[in-house]
């Protein structure tokens, strides 16, 4: 066959296995390469937490990363992680600030102390989020 010829192979469905109905190949040189495309994925803006999760999966859980990528569910997974992590962070910061007695009155009276305490609380909450959502 010459370069660029298409070969179509029909695959029948077997019991209990998911298979494709049709696979097409393109002859490139001496090799038949499958014409593969990823499923359409919606556009999602990745935030801090989803980028961190993606990097973690790429470096430490490559099989899971490539499974999500080839199934076309990586973007959805990252969006869910972003939402879960953001909600957990906000909840933890709110609870910890309330427990420490950080109020608007304290903010008005001693701004630097309030900022210092809020930064400590936010850092603590972010470490918890990393442990429970990102690296889990």
pLDDT in tens, the chain (136 residues): 445 566 555 555 555 555 556 788 888 999 988 887 766 766 777 899 999 999 999 999 999 999 999 888 999 999 999 999 999 999 999 999 999 999 999 999 999 999 999 999 999 999 999 999 999 8
52 plus 27 within the same structural domain: no
24 plus 52 within the same structural domain: no
- CA-CA distances (angstroms) from residue 121 to 67, 98, 111? 36, 11, 15
Write out the residue range of the structural domain in which residue 82 sits: 48-134
Closest CA to 50 of 111, 131, 134: 134
Please tell me the distance from the alpha carbon of residue 7 to that of residue 1, in angstroms, as a whole number: 10
65 plus 121 within the same structural domain: yes
Please tell me the distance from the alpha carbon of residue 132 to that of residue 103, in angstroms, as a whole number: 28
27 plus 58 within the same structural domain: no
25 plus 57 within the same structural domain: no
80 plus 101 within the same structural domain: yes
Please tell me the distance from the alpha carbon of residue 131 to that of residue 136, in angstroms, as a whole number: 7
- Domain contains 43: no
54 plus 84 within the same structural domain: yes
- Domain contains 41: no
Block residue for tokens 């950080």: 102
61 plus 110 within the same structural domain: yes
117 plus 84 within the same structural domain: yes
- Under a CB-based contact definition with an 8 Å cutoff, are residues 130 and 52 in contact? yes
79 plus 22 within the same structural domain: no
The number of domains in the chain is 2
Residue 69 tokens read as 């990528």
Element (H, E) at 26: strand 22-28
How many alpha carbons fall within 13 Å on the CB side of residue 89? 20
How confident is the model at residue 2, as a pLDDT?
Answer: 46
How confident is the model at residue 1, as a pLDDT?
Answer: 42
How confident is the model at residue 105, as a pLDDT?
Answer: 95
How confident is the model at residue 44, as a pLDDT?
Answer: 72
């Amino acid at each position: 066959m010459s370069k660029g010829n298409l070969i179509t192979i029909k695959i029948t469905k077997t019991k209990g296995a998911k298979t494709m109905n049709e696979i097409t190949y393109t002859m490139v040189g001496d090799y038949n390469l499958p014409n593969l495309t990823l499923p359409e994925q919606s556009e999602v803006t990745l935030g801090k937490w989803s980028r961190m999760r993606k990097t973690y999966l790429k470096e430490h859980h490559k099989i899971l990363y490539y499974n999500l990528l080839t199934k076309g569910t990586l973007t959805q997974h990252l969006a869910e992680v972003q939402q879960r992590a953001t909600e957990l962070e906000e909840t933890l910061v709110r609870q910890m600030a309330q427990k420490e007695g950080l109020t608007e009155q304290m903010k008005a009276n001693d701004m630097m102390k309030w900022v210092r305490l809020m930064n400590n609380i936010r850092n603590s909450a972010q470490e918890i989020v990393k442990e429970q959502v990102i690296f889990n």
